[in-house]
Amino acid sequence: LKMGRIGSRRMIIKSFSSGFWPLKNNLQDILYGNNELRPDGIILYGTNGGKRMGWVIPYRELIIFDSDDFSVHAQGLVIKFKKNRNYSENKTFIRIMMQKRLEYFGQFEMP
C-alpha cells in the first residue's frame, strides 16, 4: 500500500502522561517524538537516549489539540509537543494526518 509521505520530522516532547514510563529520565535530556501514518491510524514514537517507545493509535481514538502546545490524546494518555521550528516544519504532515483521519471516518457515514 503506497501512502506517500508517511513520517513526520522529529518534534520536541514538552510533557507526557505517566503511562509513558519508558520516556522518564532523571537527566535533563531533550525528548523527541515523531509520527508515522498507517492505513487505520498512526504510530507515535518517543525517543529518550537509547530508549525508543511506540504508541499505536487508531484513527477512531485519535484526538489532536493545537493551542499553546500541539498535543496528541488517545486511550486516556497524552503527549504534548513544543511549538517551535520543528512544529512549523510538520504543519503539512499534520494536515495530511487529519485528512487521513477524516477519510477513515468517511467510510462509516450513514446513508
User: CA 17, 23, 29 angle in degrees (round to 5)?
Assistant: 115
> DSSP label at 20?
-
pTM of the model: 0.83
Cα dihedral 95, 54, 86, 17 sign = positive
Q: What pLDDT is attached to residue 27?
A: 62
In this structure, which long-range contacts are made by residues 30-33, counting pairs with CB atoms below 8 Å and at least 24 apart in sequence? 33/79, 33/81
Q: What pLDDT is attached to residue 63?
A: 94
* Residue range 101-110, pLDDT digits in tens: 999 988 887 6
Q: What pLDDT is attached to residue 24?
A: 72
> Does position 15 have pLDDT exceeding 80, yes or no?
yes
- Rounded to whole angstroms, the Cα distance separating 58 from 54 reads 13
| Mean pLDDT along residues 61-78 | 92
> Does position 2 have pLDDT exceeding 60, yes or no?
no
| Mean pLDDT along residues 53-72 | 92
What domains, with CATH codes, occur in the chain? 11-104 (2.30.29)
* Residue burial 8-43, b: 16+ Cβ < 10 Å; e: rest: bebbebbebeeebeebeeeeeeebbbbbbbbeebbe
* Residue range 70-92, pLDDT digits in tens: 999 999 999 999 998 888 888 88
